[in-house]
Amino acid sequence: MAPVPAARRSELDEALRACRSAFVGVGLMSCMINLLYLTGSMFMLQVYDRVLPSRSIPTLVGLVVIAAGLYIAQGFLDLLRGRILGRIGTSLDEALNARVFDTIIRLPLTVGNRSEGLQPLRDLDNVRSFLGSMGPGAFFDLPWLPFYMAICFAFHWLLGVTALVGAIILVTLTLITEYLSRTPAKEAMTLAARRNDLAASSRRNAEVLVAMGMAGRMNKRWNGANEDYLAGNQHASDVAGGLGAVAKVLRMMLQSAVLAVGAYLVIQQEATGGIIIAGSILSARALAPVDLAIAHWKGFVAARQSWQRLNRLLQQMPARAEQTLLQAPTKKLSVEGVAMVAPGDQRLIVQDVSFTVEAGTGVGVIGPSGSGKSSLIRALVGVWTPARGKVRLDGAALDQWSSDVLGRYIGYLPQDVELFAGTVAQNICRFDPEAKSDGIIAAAKEAGVHEMIIKMREGYDTQVGEQGTALSAGQAQRVALARALYGNPFLIVLDEPNSNLDSEGDEALTRAVRGARERGAVVIVVAHRPIGIEGVDQLLVLKDGRMQTFGPKETVLAQVLQRVAPPVPTPIKIVADAGAKS
């Protein structure tokens, strides 16, 4: 069979291929270990056939010393093999954890909220854990089963046949285990992921659950999800555990059967007494890997399913290739016929939006709720890929930059602000380990939050807590604005930047927008309040995903106000009735 070209191998296969020398070492150690497993049977054979008939104490002592040395060597090799397999799992994790984490970040932007959340990380953990368990050792020992069978046949054909029948029964049981445990194990993994997602979403929305009396109802949902998970996990465990118990009983019965056959052969004077014990030990050793494989079958099935899921995921989301480093954009932003769909959906949210703005321009984006404003700006910052059209900076489409490089030129303040656990300074500088204090303070001053920060208990070193819980919503939004302004990016996109701000924050926002424009940045502001668009000079109106108007702010505002202004009622001329006067 021709070797598979390297280009066609998956990343997981390549990661394991890098460990092939370690696997070769494990195979050689398995060879030595299985040869040393003969120590017990050979020792008993010599004791029964040499020591007892001769009553020689020196021979017994010599055999004990030799056996002890071989047992120590076997234990050392077994320990070393286990540690190497554990290191292989660690090496696999080190080779793939960055790629898996990258897919966790990119997955929601590709398939939406139907993504598997943290499942890829759990899958990598499953594979690593299985490689570090005793399961792989059993699979390395399984090919030695015919070797032990051959020795049993060498003792006597009846012993060989007895051991062979037992091996066939246990191998058949292994195949049945594989068939019966595949579906329950898969269902248990799905139920576990569903339960974990429910727990994570409840934790994120703890305030809402408590404030609106939803905690009890969510608790019932959790109990239902947990019961389903426990039932599925119990089913999978019952299948694997039940078959493992049957295998254990059959192996004990086989040992007794071998002893019985050996005793029969001794009675018929076709074998010596040592054959009875040696044959029993050998048959037990021959079938031990099968028993161990059945005991670890649940872990093997889980690791195999995780391997398959990771393979599919990494193939669907290939690693991003190294791209030519372009010059920093300084001139204009162009939006060319952009149409947008949400990740994992096919319905158009934004259709045929086109405009071009030069450096130093501020664009306000307004429109009713659901008009596609947030979807449009996700395309502008490269978070979502347009279904049609292009977003360009200085003529180059956004996909010509890697996200890490493009991020230097973009400042983005999303509608739902969330800070990361760390200090205020770390959040402002986007966790850049090489950030200078001058740059952090400059961004804070541009956002108008320097005074607010230095009044905190530890200033810029104040811990914001997980998801920024140590700060108020307004403080978090202003820190996130400083983060968007850090590094003087060319394109600054702000989605509802004043939703949690007071009048002081509104004024600081307007100053920040004007300051960014003065240094040559393009600023895009999505706003529902008039104060949010004070610092811009252009206005884009969206409705039902389509661009209605784009142009100078005053002109567009006049058109919008004219459309929404109520009709002036026609004056009614009251004609007095002459007859009434009289």
Q: Is residue 227 classed as helix, strand or coil in its secondary structure?
A: helix
DSSP secondary structure code for residue 357 in this structure: E
Contact between residue 553 and residue 538 where contact means Cβ atoms under 8 Å apart = yes
**How many angstroms separate the Cα of 188 from the Cα of each of 58, 118, 135, 225, 295?**
59, 16, 20, 11, 18
Residue 340 shares a structural domain with residue 306: no
* Domain that includes residue 395, residue range: 331-561
Contacts 24+ apart (CB under 8 A), 3-12: 10/311, 10/314, 10/315, 11/96, 11/99, 11/314, 11/319, 12/92, 12/96, 12/307, 12/310, 12/311, 12/314
Predicted pLDDT at 6: 43
Domain with 75 in it: what CATH number?
1.20.1560.10
Is 4 within the bounds of a domain? no
- pLDDT for residue 449 is more than 80: yes
> 168 versus 197: which is more confidently predicted?
168
Predicted pLDDT at 504: 82
Q: Is residue 273 classed as helix, strand or coil in its secondary structure?
A: helix
- pLDDT for residue 573 is more than 50: no
- Domain termination site, one of 314, 345, 364: 314
Mean pLDDT of 370-376: 87
Is 1 within the bounds of a domain? no
Residue 55 shares a structural domain with residue 163: yes
CA-closest candidate to residue 490, choices 325, 326, 329, 327: 329
Domain with 351 in it: what CATH number?
3.40.50.300
Residue 455 shares a structural domain with residue 366: yes
- Domain termination site, one of 266, 289, 314: 314
CA-closest candidate to residue 41, choices 287, 283, 288, 248: 283
pLDDT tens, position by position, 492-522? 999 888 877 778 888 888 899 999 999 999 9
- pLDDT for residue 76 is more than 90: yes
Query: Hey, which bits of 28-178 come out as E strands?
Result: none
- Which pLDDT band, with edges at 50, 70 and 90, does 111 fall under? low
Residue 426 shares a structural domain with residue 537: yes
Residue 233 shares a structural domain with residue 264: yes
Predicted pLDDT at 66: 92
Q: What distance separates the 2 farthest-apart alpha carbons in the chain?
A: 156
Residue 304 shares a structural domain with residue 428: no
Mean pLDDT score of the chain? 81
Class of residue 77 by CB neighbours under 10 A (exposed 0-12, middle 13-18, buried 19+)? middle
Contact partners, residue 232, CB within 8 Å, separation at least 6:
184, 187, 188, 190, 191
Is 579 within the bounds of a domain? no
Structure tokens that stand for 383 in this block: 């978070």
Residue 266 shares a structural domain with residue 369: no
Pairing mode, strands 410-413 and 362-366: unpaired
Q: How many domains are there within the chain?
A: 2
Return phi, psi of residue 381, to 5°. Answer: -100, 5
CA-closest candidate to residue 497, choices 515, 487, 516, 510: 510
Structure tokens that stand for 318 in this block: 């290939």
Q: How many CA within 13 A on the CB side of residue 37?
A: 23
Residue 336 shares a structural domain with residue 307: no
Residue 185 shares a structural domain with residue 259: yes
Class of residue 160 by CB neighbours under 10 A (exposed 0-12, middle 13-18, buried 19+)? buried
Predicted pLDDT at 580: 40
Contact between residue 266 and residue 275 where contact means Cβ atoms under 8 Å apart = yes
pLDDT tens, position by position, 458-481? 889 988 877 667 788 888 888 999
> 566 versus 383: which is more confidently predicted?
383
Predicted pLDDT at 5: 44
Is 325 within the bounds of a domain? no
- Percent of residues in the chain assigned helix, strand, coil, to nearest 5: 65, 10, 25
Predicted pLDDT at 575: 41
- pLDDT for residue 569 is more than 90: no
- pLDDT for residue 79 is more than 60: yes
> 580 versus 191: which is more confidently predicted?
191
- Which pLDDT band, with edges at 50, 70 and 90, does 133 fall under? confident
Mean pLDDT of 523-542: 84
Contact between residue 547 and residue 540 where contact means Cβ atoms under 8 Å apart = yes
Contact between residue 339 and residue 124 where contact means Cβ atoms under 8 Å apart = no
Residue 446 shares a structural domain with residue 476: yes
Predicted pLDDT at 254: 79
The distance in angstroms from the start CA to the end CA of the chain is 119
Predicted pLDDT at 19: 84
Mean pLDDT of 199-212: 74
Is 319 within the bounds of a domain? no
Whether the predicted model's global pTM rises above the 0.75 cut? no
pLDDT tens, position by position, 165-190? 887 887 787 777 777 777 777 777 77
Structure tokens that stand for 235 in this block: 């089913």
Q: Please report, rounded to a whole number, the percentage of residues in the chain having pLDDT higher than 70.
A: 92
Is 577 within the bounds of a domain? no
Contact partners, residue 550, CB within 8 Å, separation at least 6:
355, 538, 539, 540, 541, 556
pLDDT tens, position by position, 265-306? 888 888 777 777 777 777 777 777 777 777 777 778 788 888
Predicted pLDDT at 8: 57
Contacts 24+ apart (CB under 8 A), 256-261: 257/162, 257/166, 258/159, 258/162, 258/163, 258/283, 261/158, 261/159, 261/162
Distance CA 265, CA 245 (A): 30
Mean pLDDT of 76-98: 87
Is 566 within the bounds of a domain? no
Is 59 within the bounds of a domain? yes
Which of the residue ranges 102-116, 189-203, 244-258, 261-275 would you say has the lowest mean pLDDT? 102-116
Q: Cα 482–483–488 angle (5° rounding)?
A: 80
Residue 395 shares a structural domain with residue 266: no
Predicted pLDDT at 443: 92
Residue 279 shares a structural domain with residue 362: no
- pLDDT for residue 112 is more than 70: no
